[in-house]
């Protein structure tokens, strides 16, 4: 499949959050790591659908495969077995370049450790994924300004990350994830490096984004934060042991 | 002391623990210190203390005779030399040391040998004691050809006489005269002429045997070169003042010959009559170049240490936390640096020892049997200077990283790393600055190399004004004992015979071949009708040449005529002047038919020849004239042949003709004038070779430096690169990122290097020939080469960047 098909034309089978076909469909996904002839099954037979507009949290104890699942969802890694359909298109076996393109246009990452680039200003950090799209400077500026305004950091555009608090840095990271209007936001322990007050603030921000229509998939080991999502999937030893909607 | 020993122990342990780092750092420093030690040893051995067995070299100065209105060294007449010796009070001694040559038969072949005509006090004044026999006695310097005695060189004694312990008293023919060997010079004594190792020395009384005419009583013949030793405590300024006062008295006493003459002292490294002048400018440039190489090496090692200091941040933090002061840390890191540079210094001195005779390789011997001697010298001064270079290098490369490493944010560093910011640039700024310096220095060296190579090429492509295809040969009539009449008959017949050899277009005789190492005749002049200024002394060099000389060498006669066979001793004495001489003395007149007086003889000007280069391609136009061989015949002449044949092809025919005239004679091996022209361009070739070699080393080191920084930068930016990949960067984006970073450093380095090169290349002016020190081609080539090298240095780190696993990279905290 050409990744352009995924990014430049909307597949007809994805209609909305309640549509028949999900935004993401994992079917029988397995991930095996081989180290020194030892096989480690990080994920085993994962079946998971994520619909557009859904807010899903993936919870579980440390080492249960949450981050591996998120990496596969984010096209940072490929499954050993099984299929992965994004917007109805199979993406599990794309080339390196195509995966980069899909990642850039369809997926927004929010990391536990923010991962802002110290040499770049807040504005430039948010702009970074857009520069890989070959977008004009004017278009980029509009999208970056909009994203920063959404997270309440527009007034800090010229600052360097080191001049911001942890909570502010995570807001900037969220703005970077949002700026390209991706199909889904993938958040990996987004409050892990924050104190409880800032953690709550970031969770509130994600909630607001979801209410604005964003699809969010969040990995967390903290039950309190997992409850912010509409749906929680529990992983244990690489398998889904529970998939329940919020009450 | 105990602390120092502890630091030493720890330093050695650190070196053992990271062998890759240690080897690379020591290699860089060995190249840096080694090249400096090698050039220091050349400067010491060739320029500063060139005569190892001579005592009191610090009081030894070259005699620099000058004439007002003339460029450069003009030599002394022997009577004049004696006047200075007799009338001075501040000098311990004066010595004559005039280079000369002869042909020695070695088995069934003949070889040229270089030697010197020296004053009788030569060996005593120098403090050099022959290992066998004796030096010259005071009486052996007097009388015309009265003392055919010689002291031979150690190498001649060994090679030619098999080290015969009973050599003293045996005889050796030198220029056809039987000389008695009275001494053998020590092995380490090669004479006092920088660049040559002499085979023999004869007393000044034998001058006529080795020169043209008897000159010991001629105040007009300025052939003396020599040295003087000051008395202890006398300064050069005081001595110069005394010599100047004597010069003024001589000018008053002998106005005809001494008008405008003066004598001063030159330090040995500026001796005007040997290779010192050429070597000084070449070695000065080379010293600057190797200093740049050292700076680049230091920047490299500094970068390596900076990178290592980051890896050792935890260790430094713990040491500080346990109570070590910053000074203590700096001392420890400085000691580690010192260990590196001391190991490199030992390696460097080994490199210098190995390279001490390397200069001779690029200095062609002018003829078989002539021994070139340009030895480097590793004595305590070179060792001290090398250690100083080593300590200086340590200061340069170790101090900054040590200070940098000692400034750890204790509270921050001891906390777990929870930062959300990826790879800030503050850490890498210093390393980038060091690479920038390396690139800038490399650019300067490459631009300098480009200038010298272009200069060399232009010099090779520029015509000296005569045909360099002409073949030089001849027969050594002096060694064969020919007198003037016999030589004249032989040469006349030989010319006739050679002219008939198929392929020969013309043939002539000349006392000296073009660009010869020999010395032109000089004499005071009187120009008929020319009004000299009160303090003007007319003097000019001239050459004795045969008929068809200008035709054979392809030098145009711009007015009048060429010499003819009829211009002999029975005809009116004539001369052909060059264009510069015509313009100087007959500016608005036709010089043809005018007269000039040389050695009490009026010569009528019959022609004006186009200016040519006489001794080397760099010389400025000067007055020069030619006299016909048949009116000034000499026994020793060069045969110049214009032919379509190669030297090899004509060799047999030449041998046949010479044998036909005298079965005991063989012609000297024929060669093209171009070979001699090339030999005379050795200084530029040597400079270009040295700068190119060291420039390549500098480029290599700078390339390693850039590679190390880019490689380190990529390894430190793994998380950032992983993040960029997560955000959608593809291979092209990552390659561009790394290459752009490398190119930014390169461009900044090129800008600084360009500015520095514009300033520094001006210092190379006297080594450049028809090339501007700011030549755009040289600068452009340097830019291209350094950009390609930078791209090559960036390639591997850039490729590695694209191989990063983003999942793994983002997991790294």
Tell me which DSSP letter residue B48 carries.
I
What pLDDT does residue B605 have? 96
Measure the CA–CA gap between B523 and B538, rounded to whole angstroms. Answer: 9
Percent over 90 (pLDDT), chain B: 32
A7-36 residues labelled b (16+ CB within 10 A) or e (exposed):
beeeeeebeeeeeebbbbbbbebebeeeee
Rounded to two decimals, the ipTM of the complex is 0.78
- The CB density around residue A188, as the number of other CB atoms within 10 Å, is 22
Measure the CA–CA gap between B81 and B94, rounded to whole angstroms. Answer: 8
How many folded domains does chain B comprise? 3
Using the beta-carbon criterion (under 8 Å), do B726 and A74 form an inter-chain contact? yes
* Strand-pair partners of B667: B475
The segment with the largest mean pLDDT, out of A42-56, B448-462, B721-735, is A42-56
Using the beta-carbon criterion (under 8 Å), do A119 and B723 form an inter-chain contact? no
**Contact of B340 with B29, CB cutoff 8 Å:** yes
Tell me which of B31-35, B210-214, B436-440 is least confident.
B210-214
Measure the CA–CA gap between B228 and B60, rounded to whole angstroms. Answer: 6
Sequence-distant (6+) residues with CB within 8 A of B219 are B77, B79, B80, B254, B256, B257, B258
Measure the CA–CA gap between B644 and B505, rounded to whole angstroms. Answer: 8
Q: What is the pLDDT of residues B517-567, one digit of tens each?
A: 777 887 788 888 888 877 777 888 899 999 999 999 999 999 999 999 999
Of B720, B731, B807, the CB nearest to A76: B807
Domain finish residue from B667, B700, B730:
B667
What pLDDT does residue A192 have? 81
Residue B490 pLDDT exceeds 90: yes
Say if B264 falls within a structural domain: no
- Model confidence band, residue B366 (pLDDT cutoffs 50, 70, 90): low
Q: What is the pLDDT of residues A110-159, one digit of tens each?
A: 988 888 888 789 999 999 889 888 889 999 999 999 999 988 999 999 99
Long-range contacts of B105-109 (CB under 8 A, 24+ apart): B105/B173, B105/B479, B106/B159, B106/B160, B106/B369
- Model confidence band, residue B422 (pLDDT cutoffs 50, 70, 90): low
Residues B247 and B285 occupy one common structural domain? no
Nearest to B37 by CA among B354, B335, B270: B354
What pLDDT does residue B421 have? 55
Residues B304 and B231 occupy one common structural domain? no
B105 vs B740, more confident: B740
Using the beta-carbon criterion (under 8 Å), do A104 and B727 form an inter-chain contact? yes
Measure the CA–CA gap between B100 and B116, rounded to whole angstroms. Answer: 5
Measured between CA atoms, how close is A243 to chain B, in angstroms? 26
Distances (CA, A) of B804 to A128, B166, B715, B718, B737: 19, 80, 10, 7, 14
Residues B90 and B161 occupy one common structural domain? yes
Q: Which residues of B touch A193 (CB under 8 A)?
A: 418, 420
Nearest to B708 by CA among B442, B378, B432, B449: B432
Say if B116 falls within a structural domain: yes
Copy the structure tokens of residue B776. 């755009």
Residues B191 and B322 occupy one common structural domain? no
What pLDDT does residue A15 have? 42
Tell me which DSSP letter residue B205 carries.
G
* Strand-pair partners of A30: A81
**Contact of B207 with B79, CB cutoff 8 Å:** no
- Residues B542, B544, B549, CA angle at the centre, nearest 5°? 110
The count of CB pairs under 8 A between chains A and B is 80
Residues B637 and B712 occupy one common structural domain? no
Measure the CA–CA gap between B586 and B589, rounded to whole angstroms. Answer: 5
Domain finish residue from B259, B291, B308:
B259
Say if B63 falls within a structural domain: no
Phi/psi of residue B110, nearest 5 degrees: -110, 140
Of B420, B725, B733, the CB nearest to A169: B420
Q: What is the mean pLDDT of residues B125-135?
A: 95
Domains annotated for chain A, with CATH where assigned, are 3-245 (3.40.50.300)
Measure the CA–CA gap between A216 and A206, rounded to whole angstroms. Answer: 8
- Model confidence band, residue B158 (pLDDT cutoffs 50, 70, 90): very high
Using DSSP, state whether B270 is helix, strand or coil.
Answer: helix
- The CB density around residue B252, as the number of other CB atoms within 10 Å, is 10
What pLDDT does residue A81 have? 93
- Residue B485 belongs to domain spanning: 475-667
Copy the structure tokens of residue A7. 């990014």
Measured between CA atoms, how close is B416 to chain A, in angstroms? 12
Of B422, B726, B730, the CB nearest to A116: B422
Phi-psi map region of B213: left, alpha, beta (phi>0 left; psi -120 to 50 alpha): left
Using the beta-carbon criterion (under 8 Å), do B725 and A101 form an inter-chain contact? no
Phi/psi of residue A208, nearest 5 degrees: -65, -40
Measured between CA atoms, how close is A101 to chain B, in angstroms? 6
What pLDDT does residue B635 have? 83
Measure the CA–CA gap between B596 and B762, rounded to whole angstroms. Answer: 42
Measured between CA atoms, how close is A246 to chain B, in angstroms? 30
Using the beta-carbon criterion (under 8 Å), do B728 and A162 form an inter-chain contact? no
Using the beta-carbon criterion (under 8 Å), do A103 and B726 form an inter-chain contact? yes
Residues B631 and B717 occupy one common structural domain? no
Say if B195 falls within a structural domain: yes
Residues B586 and B498 occupy one common structural domain? yes
Tell me which DSSP letter residue B303 carries.
H
**Beta-strand relationship, B671-672 and B504-510:** unpaired
Q: What is the mean pLDDT of residues B377-400?
A: 79
Residues B699 and B661 occupy one common structural domain? no
Q: What is the mean pLDDT of residues B418-425?
A: 50
Nearest to A208 by CA among A149, A165, A127: A149
CA-based nearest residue in chain A for residue B428: A119
Of B420, B725, B729, the CB nearest to A193: B420
Distances (CA, A) of B490 to B58, B109, B209, B647, B666: 50, 21, 20, 22, 13
CA-based nearest residue in chain B for residue A103: B728
Query: Which residue blocks in B503-570 are alpha helix, DSSP H?
Result: 549-553
* Strand-pair partners of B508: B640
Tell me which of B286-300, B335-349, B369-383, B780-794 is least confident.
B369-383
Residues B492 and B573 occupy one common structural domain? yes
Using DSSP, state whether B170 is helix, strand or coil.
Answer: coil
Strands (E), B723-785: none
Percent over 70 (pLDDT), chain B: 92
Of A116, A132, A133, the CB nearest to B421: A116
**Beta-strand relationship, A55-59 and A38-50:** unpaired
Tell me which DSSP letter residue B359 carries.
G
Helix axis angle for B682-716 and B718-726, nearest 10°, is 60
**Contact of B472 with B670, CB cutoff 8 Å:** yes
Say if B800 falls within a structural domain: yes
What pLDDT does residue B204 have? 95
Residues B375 and B498 occupy one common structural domain? no
Q: What is the pLDDT of residues B303-355, one digit of tens each?
A: 888 777 777 776 777 676 666 677 777 888 888 888 888 898 888 888 888 88
Say if B491 falls within a structural domain: yes
What count of residues does chain B have? Answer: 813
- Model confidence band, residue A233 (pLDDT cutoffs 50, 70, 90): very high
Q: Which residues of B touch A77 (CB under 8 A)?
A: 807
Q: What is the pLDDT of residues A85-118, one digit of tens each?
A: 999 999 988 888 888 889 889 999 998 888 888 8
User: Tokens 């052996």 belong to which residue?
Assistant: B140
Say if B288 falls within a structural domain: yes
Q: Which residues of B touch A133 (CB under 8 A)?
A: 728
Residues B591 and B518 occupy one common structural domain? yes
- Model confidence band, residue B416 (pLDDT cutoffs 50, 70, 90): very low
- Residues B595, B599, B600, CA angle at the centre, nearest 5°? 65
- The CB density around residue B395, as the number of other CB atoms within 10 Å, is 15
Of B423, B731, B811, the CB nearest to A118: B423
- Model confidence band, residue B409 (pLDDT cutoffs 50, 70, 90): low
CA dihedral B258, B263, B268, B271 (to 10 degrees): -30
Domain finish residue from B639, B667, B695:
B667
Q: What is the mean pLDDT of residues B697-707?
A: 80
Using DSSP, state whether B603 is helix, strand or coil.
Answer: strand
- Model confidence band, residue A5 (pLDDT cutoffs 50, 70, 90): low
**Beta-strand relationship, B471-473 and B226-230:** unpaired
Measured between CA atoms, how close is B32 to chain A, in angstroms? 35
Largest Cα–Cα separation, chain A? 53
Measure the CA–CA gap between A57 and A51, rounded to whole angstroms. Answer: 13
Q: What is the pLDDT of residues A66-75, one digit of tens each?
A: 989 999 999 9
What pLDDT does residue B125 have? 95
Distances (CA, A) of B557 to B146, B508, B551, B554: 44, 16, 9, 9
Say if B517 falls within a structural domain: yes
- Model confidence band, residue B737 (pLDDT cutoffs 50, 70, 90): confident
Using DSSP, state whether B402 is helix, strand or coil.
Answer: helix
User: Tokens 């099954």 belong to which residue?
Assistant: A41
DSSP B81-122: HHHHHHH-SSEEEEEEEEEEEEEEEETTEEEEEEEEEE-TTH
Residues B206 and B169 occupy one common structural domain? yes
Q: Which residues of A touch B418 (CB under 8 A)?
A: 113, 193
Tell me which DSSP letter residue B47 carries.
I
Q: Which residues of B touch A98 (CB under 8 A)?
A: none
What pLDDT does residue B417 have? 41
Tell me which DSSP letter residue B764 carries.
G
Q: Which residues of A touch B741 (CB under 8 A)?
A: none
DSSP B565-602: TT-STTSPPEEEEEHHHHHHH-TTS--TT-EEEETTEE
In chain B, the N- to C-terminal Cα span, in Å, equals 41
Q: What is the mean pLDDT of residues A12-23?
A: 54
- Model confidence band, residue B625 (pLDDT cutoffs 50, 70, 90): very high
Q: Which residues of A touch B724 (CB under 8 A)?
A: 128, 132
DSSP chain A: --HHHHHHS--TT--STTSSS-SEEEEEEEEEEEETTEEEEEEEEEEEEE-TT-EEEEE-STTSSHHHHHHHHTTSS--SEEEEEETTEE-TT--HHHHHHHHHHHEEEE-TT--EETTS-HHHHHHHHHHTTT--HHHHHHHHHHHHHHHT-GGGTTS-GGGS-HHHHHHHHHHHHHHT--SEEEEESTTTTS-HHHHHHHHHHHHHHHHTT--EEEEES-HHHHTTSSEEEEEETTEEEEEEE--
Using DSSP, state whether B710 is helix, strand or coil.
Answer: helix
Measure the CA–CA gap between B813 and B418, rounded to whole angstroms. Answer: 7
Using the beta-carbon criterion (under 8 Å), do B730 and A170 form an inter-chain contact? no
Q: Which residues of B touch A118 (CB under 8 A)?
A: 421-425
Tell me which of A189-203, A226-240, B74-88, B410-424 is least confident.
B410-424
């Amino acid at each position: 499949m050409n990744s352009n098909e995924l990014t430049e034309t909307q597949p007809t089978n994805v209609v909305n959050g309640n549509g028949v076909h999900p935004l993401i469909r994992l079917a029988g996904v397995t991930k095996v790591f081989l180290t020194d002839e030892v096989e480690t099954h990080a994920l085993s037979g994962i079946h998971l659908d994520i619909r557009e507009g859904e807010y899903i949290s993936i919870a579980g104890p440390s080492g249960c495969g949450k981050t591996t699942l998120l990496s596969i969802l984010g096209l940072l890694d490929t499954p050993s077995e099984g299929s992965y359909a994004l917007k109805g298109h199979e993406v599990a076996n794309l080339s390196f370049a195509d995966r980069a393109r899909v990642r850039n246009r369809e997926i927004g990452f929010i990391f536990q450790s923010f991962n802002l680039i110290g040499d770049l200003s807040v504005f430039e950090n948010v702009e970074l994924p857009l520069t890989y799209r070959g977008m004009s400077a004017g278009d980029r500026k509009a999208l970056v300004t909009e994203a920063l305004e959404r997270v309440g950091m527009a007034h800090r555009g010229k600052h360097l990350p080191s001049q911001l608090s942890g909570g502010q840095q995570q807001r900037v990271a969220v703005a970077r994830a949002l700026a390209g209007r991706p199909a889904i936001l993938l958040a990996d322990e987004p409050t892990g490096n924050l104190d409880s007050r800032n953690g709550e603030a970031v969770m509130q921000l994600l909630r607001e984004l979801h209410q604005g229509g964003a699809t969010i998939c969040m990995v967390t080991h903290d039950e309190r934060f997992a409850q912010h999502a509409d749906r929680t999937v529990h992983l244990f030893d690489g398998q889904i042991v529970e998939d329940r909607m919020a009450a | 002391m105990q602390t120092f020993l502890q630091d030493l122990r720890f330093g050695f342990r650190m070196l053992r623990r990271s062998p890759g780092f240690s080897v690379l750092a020591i290699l860089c420093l060995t190249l840096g210190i080694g090249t400096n030690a090698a050039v220091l040893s050349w400067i010491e051995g060739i320029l500063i203390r060139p005569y190892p067995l001579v005592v009191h070299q610090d009081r030894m100065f070259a005699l620099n005779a000058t004439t007002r209105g003339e460029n450069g060294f003009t030599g002394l007449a022997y009577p004049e030399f004696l006047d200075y010796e007799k009338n001075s009070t501040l000098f311990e001694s004066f010595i004559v040391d005039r280079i000369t040559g002869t042909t020695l038969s070695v088995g069934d072949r003949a070889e040229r040998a270089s030697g010197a005509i020296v004053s009788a006090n030569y060996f005593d004044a120098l403090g050099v004691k022959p290992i066998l026999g004796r030096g010259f006695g005071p009486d052996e310097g007097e009388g015309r050809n009265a003392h055919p005695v010689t002291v031979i060189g150690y190498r001649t004694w060994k090679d030619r006489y098999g080290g015969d312990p009973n050599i003293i008293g045996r005889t050796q023919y030198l220029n056809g005269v039987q000389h008695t060997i009275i001494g053998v010079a020590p092995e380490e004594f090669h004479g006092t002429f920088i660049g040559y190792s002499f085979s023999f020395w004869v007393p000044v009384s034998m001058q006529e045997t080795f020169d043209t005419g008897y000159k010991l009583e001629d105040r007009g013949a300025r052939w003396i070169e020599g040295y003087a030793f000051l008395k202890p405590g006398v300064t050069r300024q005081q001595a110069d003042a005394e010599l100047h006062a004597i010069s003024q008295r001589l000018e008053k006493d002998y106005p005809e010959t001494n008008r405008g003459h003066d004598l001063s002292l030159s330090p040995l490294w500026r001796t005007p009559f040997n290779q010192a002048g050429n070597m000084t400018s070449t070695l000065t440039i080379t010293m600057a170049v190797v200093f740049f190489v050292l700076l680049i090496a230091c920047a490299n090692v500094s970068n390596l240490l900076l990178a290592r200091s980051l890896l050792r941040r935890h260790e430094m933090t713990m040491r500080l936390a346990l109570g070590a002061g910053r000074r203590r840390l700096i001392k420890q890191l400085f000691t580690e640096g010192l260990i590196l540079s001391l190991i490199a210094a030992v390696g460097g001195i080994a490199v210098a020892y190995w390279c001490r005779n390397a200069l001779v390789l690029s200095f062609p011997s002018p003829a078989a049997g002539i021994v070139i001697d340009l030895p480097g010298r590793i004595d305590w001064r070179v060792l001290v200077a090398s250690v100083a270079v080593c300590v200086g290098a340590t200061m340069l490369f170790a101090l900054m990283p040590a200070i940098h490493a000692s400034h750890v944010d204790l509270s921050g560093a001891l906390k777990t790393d929870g930062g959300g910011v990826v790879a800030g640039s503050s850490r890498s700024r210093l390393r980038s600055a060091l690479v920038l310096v390396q690139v800038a220095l490399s650019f300067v060296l490459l631009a300098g190399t480009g200038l010298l190579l272009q200069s060399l090429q232009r010099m090779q492509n520029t015509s000296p004004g005569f045909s360099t295809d002409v073949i030089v040969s001849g027969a050594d009539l002096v060694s064969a004992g020919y007198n003037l009449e016999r030589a004249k008959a032989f040469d006349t017949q030989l010319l006739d015979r050679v002219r008939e050899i198929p392929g020969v277009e013309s043939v002539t005789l000349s006392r000296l071949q073009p660009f010869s190492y020999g010395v032109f005749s000089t004499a005071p002049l009187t120009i008929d009708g020319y009004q000299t200024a009160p303090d003007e002394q007319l003097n000019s060099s001239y050459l004795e040449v045969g008929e068809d000389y200008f035709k054979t060498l392809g030098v145009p006669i711009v007015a009048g005529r060429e010499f003819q066979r009829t211009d002999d001793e029975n005809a009116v004495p004539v001369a052909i002047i060059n264009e510069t001489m015509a313009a100087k003395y007959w500016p608005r007149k036709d010089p043809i038919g005018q007269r000039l007086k040389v050695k009490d003889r009026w010569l009528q000007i019959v022609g004006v020849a186009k200016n040519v280069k006489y001794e080397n391609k760099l010389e400025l136009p000067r007055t020069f004239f030619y006299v016909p061989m048949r009116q000034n015949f000499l026994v020793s002449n060069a045969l110049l042949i214009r032919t379509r044949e190669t030297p090899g092809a004509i060799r047999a025919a030449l041998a046949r003709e010479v044998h036909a005239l005298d079965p005991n004679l063989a012609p000297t091996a024929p060669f093209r004038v171009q070979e001699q022209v090339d030999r005379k361009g050795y200084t530029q070739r040597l400079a270009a070779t040295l700068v190119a070699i060291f420039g390549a080393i500098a480029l290599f080191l700078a390339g390693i430096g850039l590679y190390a920084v880019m490689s380190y930068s990529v390894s430190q930016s793994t998380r950032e690169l992983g993040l960029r990949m997560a955000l959608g960067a593809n291979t092209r984006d990552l390659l561009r990122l790394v290459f752009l970073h490398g190119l930014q450093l390169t461009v900044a380095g090129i800008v600084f290097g360009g500015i520095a090169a514009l300033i520094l290349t001006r210092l190379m002016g006297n080594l450049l020939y028809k090339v501007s020190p700011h030549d755009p081609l040289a600068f452009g080539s340097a830019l291209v080469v350094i950009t390609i090298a930078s791209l090559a240095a960036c390639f591997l780190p850039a490729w590695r960047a694209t191989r990063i696993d983003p999942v793994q990279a983002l997991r790294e905290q």
